[in-house]
């Protein structure tokens, strides 16, 4: 009678109804009815009315974690980038559903909040991984937090561009975006500068002597804590 399994029919019915009448205007009974199942069956497959249109984040999170855990100290940055690719790839494979969901999350606050909460779970994963990689120094904990936030922000930036149809090659874009992140955060010079001083260099083609002079000026008291050096 029904070749396609109930799970899939429920997803189809939900997407269709949300698209036709909106999220709040659709009841779970209606979704179940259109899918040709009982209301109970709906909740047996999806924990909530929102769940039915979201991807399998649990599975994806496991995949991301697996990719990260399979890396060494030296390939940590590569692993982070590839983990981000993994997530983007999954969304792209969804195709039309991903775009429909985007249209819904843009309009419905409850769905947007849920999407954001999911993102936070990925960010947590990245934070823990990067934190372990960087070591447990107080500063490392902060930078791990910043970098994890940047990683998911970069991914989401590219993802949204693709969802809006602003790019045709999202995988290439996520590579450049992630390269941006890793060059910003990945080049930290942790070698013996001494406790208390951190110098971060991000590729410069100007005269090292002039930069050094600027640093000396910046370090001269009385200075406020942590003044940025602007040598232009």
121: number of Cβ within 10 Å: 14
5 phi/psi in degrees, rounded to 5? -65, 160
Q: Which range touches DNA (CB under 7 A), out of 47-55, 76-84, 101-109, 177-185?
A: 47-55
The owner of tokens 């969804």 is: 94
Residues 6+ apart with CB under 8 A from 94: 55, 101
CA 59-113-36 angle, to 5 degrees, is 65
Closest CB to DNA among residues 37, 158: 37
200 binds its own copies (CB under 8 A): yes
Interaction between residue 171 and its own copies (CB under 8 A): no
The burial of 45, by beta-carbon neighbours within 10 Å (0-12 exposed, 13-18 middle, 19 or more buried), is given as middle
Any contact of residue 139 with its own copies (CB under 8 A)? Answer: yes
CB nearer DNA, residue 36 or residue 59: 36
**CB closer to DNA out of 6 and 63:** 6
Q: Which stretch binds DNA (CB under 7 A): 22-30, 87-95, 128-136, 203-211?
A: 22-30
**The Cα angle at residue 105 between residues 20 and 148, in degrees rounded to 5:** 160
Interaction site with DNA (CB under 7 A): 5-6, 26-29, 36-41, 43-45, 47-50
The binding site for its own copies (CB under 8 A) comprises: 77, 112-114, 116-117, 120, 139, 141-143, 145-146, 148-150, 152-154, 156-157, 172, 175-177, 179-187, 189-190, 193-209, 211-216, 218-220, 225-232
């Amino acid at each position: 009678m029904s070749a396609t399994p109930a799970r899939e029919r429920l997803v189809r019915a939900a997407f269709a109804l949300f698209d036709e009448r909106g999220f709040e205007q659709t009841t779970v009974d209606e979704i179940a009815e259109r899918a040709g199942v009982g209301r109970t069956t709906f909740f047996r497959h999806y924990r909530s009315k929102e769940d039915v249109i979201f991807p399998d984040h649990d599975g994806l999170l496991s995949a991301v974690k697996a990719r990260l855990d399979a890396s060494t100290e030296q390939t940590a940055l590569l692993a982070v980038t590839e983990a981000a690719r993994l997530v983007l790839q999954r969304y792209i494979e969804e195709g039309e559903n991903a775009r429909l969901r985007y249209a819904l999350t843009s309009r419905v606050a409850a769905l947007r909040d849920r999407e954001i909460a999911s993102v936070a779970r990925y960010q947590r994963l990245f934070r823990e991984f990067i934190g372990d990689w960087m070591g447990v120094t107080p500063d490392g904990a902060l930078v791990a937090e910043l970098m994890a936030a940047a990683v998911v922000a970069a991914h989401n930036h590219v993802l949204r561009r693709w969802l809006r149809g602003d790019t045709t090659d999202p995988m290439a874009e996520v590579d450049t975006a992630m390269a941006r992140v890793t060059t910003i955060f990945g080049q930290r010079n942790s070698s013996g500068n001494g406790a208390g001083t951190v110098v971060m260099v991000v590729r410069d083609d100007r005269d090292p002597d002039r930069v050094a002079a600027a640093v000396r000026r910046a370090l001269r008291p009385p200075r406020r804590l942590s003044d940025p050096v602007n040598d232009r």
